[in-house]
Structure 1
Amino acid sequence: MSKPDDKAAPKPKRVMPGYMNFIIGGSSGMLAICCVQPADLLKTRMQLLGPAGRNLSVFTVAGQILKNEGFFGFYVGLSAALFRQATYTTGRLGVFNGLFDIHKGKWGQPSFPTKIVIGMIAGGIGAFIGTPAEVALIRMTADGRLPPEKKRNYKNVFNALARITREEGLFTLWKGGGATVSRAMVVNGAQLGSYAQAREMLLPFMYDGLPLHTAAAMISGFVTSVASLPVDIVKTRVQNASKGVQITQMSVLRDVIKNEGVLALWSGLLPTYCKIGPMTVLIFIFLEQLNRLYFEYTA
């Protein structure tokens, strides 16, 4: 029998099942993209302007969308964006957690450089899984700038995937897959490294809470935007190419620099930053809240 002054044994810390990491991770991404989809659409439209639109500002492009397509024009392609989060974000978080656990079990806690490498690998694999949704998203968000006779008029992401497969072949769904994977690896590496560094630098001046996480995420978003935009622009133009047009990443890169100038590689920097910064913050906010709800309702 226990003595009266014996302390009760601490309750073991509850562990979330592995499959819930996939579900909650994907759900967090889907909720976040609903908030930042207008910025993502603006970014894509600006990347596809070409030489004729090099002097157009983000506000001019936004005004044109509002005038020609209305408010809901900013949410064209939302179904594809949601499907992309359901595949890409779920995939990369699942792979990251899996590789992290394997490393921890065999060799102990990963070092910071190892975490960056794991993040890059996870981002690449997740991007490959999510490339079909990415192709559909690019096509759908670009449709509004095309003349009526050239519009694809996809009804939703599943209609887009079915039509692309039927009209252009199954492997078109992975068009620009190399560029997508390259971008994802750059994004994951830049995001993880710059977020950790910004957090470390700000910690002496801010308490460890939401304001610190938000500031570090916004700094990380800017660094990630600058690092990833050239790859992102190449990927966007490869995936939006017309049927039968065979182009490579290097040919697109050369054409952009030759015809539009080096700075065109950072076209759409503002809307990209307006997406990546808040997207990072929102994903973590939704992730924490969904984790809390899970433990509350399964207690």
Structure 2
Amino acid sequence: MVAGDSKSDISFAGTFASSAFAACFAEICTIPLDTAKVRLQLQKKAVAGDGIALPKYKGMLGTVGTIAREEGLASLWKGIVPGLHRQCLFGGLRIGLYEPIKNLYVGENFVGDVPLTTKILAGLTTGALAISVANPTDLVKVRLQAEGKLAAGVPRRYSGALNAYSTIVKQEGVRALWTGLGPNVARNAIINAAELASYDQVKQTILKIPGFTDNVLTHLLSGLGAGFVAVCVGSPVDVVKSRMMGDSSYKGTIDCFVKTLKNDGPLAFYKGFIPNFGRLGSWNVIMFLTLEQAKKFVKSIESA
């Protein structure tokens, strides 16, 4: 089966493998920023008795520094194993299915530029489908990232990714692996559409500027643009998703949204915006650059 990408003309399996590889590589490079983002999002207003309690984590670099100092450098890569599980499934599916779904929406006889609305719809569809499959990996990643430094003698909640999967199933049931599915589907469908559609549009716009060609600089600028749009659009649902996955006291998506708004104010929905942009911006740049090269490599193998 050939994915309908005139630029690459590689099989769906080749597109899936290229997408999974690119997503995993980007994950390894940027997960410290994601860990910082999760900690900032889960941080609630401190309740002080007589004085003012200062928040433990401040800013992206401050949070990274605090985690590294208190818990060790390796703690910044907490959740990397389920993170890679997630990217193999989610990254491979959402990007691998994007072209086939887009072609399905426009029809096989369509000629010309695909409308932006169709690109967005295809991104929403593949993002929702992919995260519905990969939600358990996201849940475990957030749980591992959320666990900070423990007091002496206090055992860790989970010994690792596989232990986390089995412990959650034993203690909370299989359905618990899909905790936060609602906001997670909303977040990833929206962010996927924002990333893929904006990457296409930014790249298309840049290529119309004299002197620009389809090269690394264009991919870099397009990736940054895609990351910025994705964070602006997806940050509120991202915060709700992280809080629901990190804290089981919420009754549902609406409950989490209302309590966050009531207790922490509207700006809480943009907590961790800078590390989130640092994460998604750099993630998109690395992923798209790697993806372009990986697809070229796969094309050379398939056409040999």
TM-score bracket, shorter-length normalisation: 0.7 to 0.9
Give the structure 2 partner of residue 99 of structure 1: 101
Separation of aligned partners in 2, 1:285 and 1:96: 17
Aligned-residue CA RMSD (Å): 2.3
Q: 1:83 aligns with which of 78, 85, 110?
A: 85
Which aligned pairs between 1:162-181 and structure 2 lie closer than 5 A?
Answer: 162-181=166-185
Q: Which stretch shifts more, 39-48 or 255-264? A: 255-264
Q: Which stretch shifts more, 175-184 or 211-220? A: 211-220
Residues 116 and 147 from structure 1, CA distance in 2 versus in 1: closer, same or farther, beyond 3 angstroms? farther
Which aligned pairs between 1:248-259 and structure 2 lie closer than 5 A?
Answer: 248-259=252-263
Give the structure 2 partner of residue 241 of structure 1: 247
- Secondary structure, counterpart of 1:51 in structure 2: coil
Separation of aligned partners in 2, 1:248 and 1:147: 30
Separation of aligned partners in 2, 1:146 and 1:94: 40
TM-score (norm 2): 0.85
Q: 2:224 aligns with which of 198, 218, 227?
A: 218
Q: Tell me the alpha carbon deviations over residues 102-160 of structure 1, each in whole angstroms, 9 at most, x when there is no partner.
A: 345545254221111011111111111110000000001011256564741332x2221
TM-score (norm 1): 0.87
**8 Å Cα contact 1:140-1:154 kept in structure 2:** no
Residues 196 and 21 from structure 1, CA distance in 2 versus in 1: closer, same or farther, beyond 3 angstroms? closer
Task: Kindly indicate whether residue 14 of structure 2 is the aligned counterpart of residue 20 of structure 1.
Answer: yes
Task: Kindly indicate whether residue 212 of structure 2 is the aligned counterpart of residue 207 of structure 1.
Answer: yes
Q: Which blocks of at least 5 consecutive residues in structure 1 are unaligned? A: 1-12
Separation of aligned partners in 2, 1:143 and 1:18: 38
Larger Rg: 1
Separation of aligned partners in 2, 1:249 and 1:113: 27
Separation of aligned partners in 2, 1:221 and 1:206: 24
Residues 246 and 90 from structure 1, CA distance in 2 versus in 1: closer, same or farther, beyond 3 angstroms? same
Give the structure 2 partner of residue 154 of structure 1: 159
Shift of residue 84 of structure 1? 0.5
Separation of aligned partners in 2, 1:14 and 1:151: 46
Q: Percent identity?
A: 27
Give the structure 2 partner of residue 122 of structure 1: 126
Task: Kindly indicate whether residue 294 of structure 2 is the aligned counterpart of residue 290 of structure 1.
Answer: yes
Give the structure 2 partner of residue 56 of structure 1: 58
Give the structure 2 partner of residue 265 of structure 1: 269
Task: Tell me which protein shows more helix as a share of its residues.
Answer: 1
Shift of residue 246 of structure 1? 4.8
**8 Å Cα contact 1:144-1:151 kept in structure 2:** no
